[in-house]
Amino acid sequence: MFGLKSLLRRPPARPEALWLDEPDALARVERAPVSEAAKQAARDLIVDGFTVLRGAIPGELCQQVIDDYARYGAENADYVAANLDELAREKRLVNFHHWSKAEEAIATDAGVMSVLDFLFGERACVYTSLTFKYGTQQPIHRDTPHFATWPGSRFFGVWTALEDTPPEAGPLMYVRGGHRFPVEPRPVFEAVQAEHPDWTREDQLNLALDRWNGLIIQQAPDHGELVVAPIRRGDVAIWHPQLPHGGSPAQDPTRTRWSVVVHCAPEGVQVHQHDRFFTHAGPGAPPDRYRFREAHGRKIALAGEVAYQA
């Protein structure tokens, strides 16, 4: 009988490919001895690049994260006041799962993690998180420059709605099926180097990132329909690492869109940032960047403190 261990250990035809991207992925899903929820998540990711686990997180736990955030703000009022945007709203809070036990519990939820184990074909762990009080209205983009892995595509964004997300708050949007077209980073960076040899490496990397993001925005509409995702409190959205996605325009920018996105990878795969994404060469991974702690039976990366995103 075809077993889950053989599925997880079976090497992909292409070393960089996630097994979900292999030609026989749908057939492998049907043979796998996992829950129907895990199978449906895999089917969705293979075809659309996006899936939602409905009601995966209890509403009480979602509310506890919001309450913890309020308590964090009261205890760090000066720091919060120094990190407001142009509309006097709090920016995204990084790694709040290190402070909030409720968010840590969401990040390591056993049911969600078991689905991720199947999707990766390896045991999943927590890398970092972002906690949102408001929607980002972020343009369509791919996460891969900021979550680069070797082998590639070993990352999932795992987004939990802490409250219902109405249209006026700027729900998630994504390009259905847009995870399939390639945009190689190295030629983009090399072109910038050739054009601006006297620039600092940091400036070269930042321009390369801008150009690469521009290529995603330019090409994504040719590869799928733009979809706004209706997500309710306790729902967990998971997207393919190559999926173009963003935050839809908020009709009311003062309306909250409480949510947390946990960035997950396999335990044996370290996540790197855009400098490595554009410059690292060779099949091997760059040196490790961080160590781990454990909670709820899962590894959690020590990859940054609780802080508002600049």
Please tell me whether the overall predicted TM-score, pTM, comes out greater than 0.85 for this model. yes
pLDDT attached to residue 14: 41
Report the pLDDT value the prediction gives residue 17, as an integer from 0 to 100: 81
> For residue 270, what are the CA distances in angstroms to 121, 290, 303?
16, 8, 10
Mean per-residue pLDDT, 210-214: 97
Asked if residue 102 has pLDDT above 70, the reply is yes
- Average pLDDT of the segment spanning 18-22: 96
Assess contact for 241 and 277: CB atoms under 8 A. Answer: no
Which residues, listed in sequence order, are joined to residue 159 by a DSSP beta bridge?
237, 261
Question: CB 200: neighbour CB atoms within 10 A?
Answer: 9
Greatest Cα-to-Cα distance within the chain, rounded to the nearest angstrom: 61
Q: Which of 164, 163, 185 is nearest to 278 (CA)?
A: 185
Q: Single out the residue of 276, 246, 301, 288 nearest to residue 135, CA to CA.
A: 246
- What is the separation of C-alpha 244 from the centre of its chain, rounded to a whole number of angstroms? 11
Neighbours of 277 (CB within 10 A): 22
Would you give the distance in Å from CA 212 to the centre of its chain? 18
- 64-77 confidence digits (pLDDT tens): 999 999 999 999 99
pLDDT digits (tens, 9 = 90+) for 21-36: 999 999 999 999 999 9
- Ramachandran sector of residue 60 (left: φ over 0; alpha: ψ -120 to 50; beta: rest): alpha
Looking at CATH, the fold of the domain delimited by 49-308 is given as Jelly Rolls (2.60.120)
